[in-house]
Amino acid sequence: MALALVFPGQGSQAVGMGRDLAAAFPAAREVFEAVDETLKQHLTRLMFEGPAEELTLTSNAQPALMAVSLAVLRVLEGEGGFDVRGRVALVAGHSLGEYSALAAAGAFDVPQAARLLRLRGDAMQAAVPAGTGAMAALLGAEMEQARAICARAAIDPVTDETQVVEAANDNGGGQVVISGHKAAVERAVEIAKGEGIRRAMLLPVSAPFHSSLMEPAADAMAEALERDPPRAPAVPLVANVTAAKATDPETIRDLLVRQVTGTVRWRECVAAMVEMGCDTFVEVGSGKVLTGLMKRNAPDAKAMACGTPAEIEAVLRAL
């Protein structure tokens, strides 16, 4: 068995996440308390009780999802004697999940990851005025098809000006997310419907993540990571923007900056991990989004979600 740990991104948050972990395991409570103390906020109360609208805010969802992932990992380590360095071949995370993956591998500690993700969420939200940007999912589209749709949609037919609309996430299994100026994204949705795409729909997000419109947020993260840099991870990271292994701290810092405006190449990341010999994937944290994508991208691999006490017990038995 060659094991990879993968960590979810925004969209996997849900009111109640982590509550059962905190009730059952002191190690999980320690993680949540550390995050609350670092952010000077009762973030865990928001995670456990809601409201959902406040939890979904980018600046809250990003550190909250990391907190649940690291709480699960600490329980695996404390209750099951799980050793990341000795048992795990690779780590990867979807967008903000890269910070969780790096914290799991020792490149960040929990307070550091919480600080960086709060700043990242704030910077991404502030990068574009409200109502200016949008994102949409193209279901049944492959990457090249999505890029061609974006190229057509980028031209405003009234002014003939070029607007931003780009592929933000290549999730695999015919799922591509696009991002950019709201009008251009809306044009892309209409073009996609005429191209026979199974479904094209705007997403309920507050900013055009992973597009070139996020350049101000990338600049903010470059400064933050200069002040608060990663250490060398104990386990190699498969990075979103390259779909390749990274272990050098300066390289990882550059990749995290590039990731703010770059495409999340998740389909290629999974293919790379399989190519490097991984046949078992555990999604560590809230939800089962990556486990579902794994079944499409690596159908021969074993994929398990690990975010609740019952799932932790099942994973420890399986491993």
Whether 59 is a known active-site residue: answer no
pLDDT bracket for residue 290 (50, 70, 90) = very high
How many CB atoms sit inside 10 A of residue 300's CB? 6
In this structure, are residues 281 and 298 in contact, taking their beta carbons and an 8 Å threshold?
yes
Average pLDDT, the chain: 96
Q: Mean of the pLDDT values across residues 29-41?
A: 98
Q: Mean of the pLDDT values across residues 1-19?
A: 96
Task: Give the pLDDT confidence score for residue 130 in this predicted structure.
Answer: 86
In this structure, are residues 10 and 62 in contact, taking their beta carbons and an 8 Å threshold?
yes
Question: In the chain, pLDDT over 70 holds for what percent of residues?
Answer: 100
pLDDT at 215 over 90: yes
The catalytic position among 12, 95, 100, 179 is: 95
pLDDT in tens, 46-58: 999 999 999 999 9
Task: Give the pLDDT confidence score for residue 160 in this predicted structure.
Answer: 94
Distances (CA, A) of 119 to 125, 217, 281: 10, 9, 29
Q: Mean of the pLDDT values across residues 11-22?
A: 97
Per DSSP, the three-state class of 100 is helix
pLDDT in tens, 296-312: 999 999 999 999 999 99
The catalytic position among 12, 59, 181, 210 is: 210
Q: Mean of the pLDDT values across residues 188-204?
A: 93
Return the C-alpha torsion angle 206, 212, 214, 217, nearest 10: 170
Q: Mean of the pLDDT values across residues 160-185?
A: 97
Whether 210 is a known active-site residue: answer yes
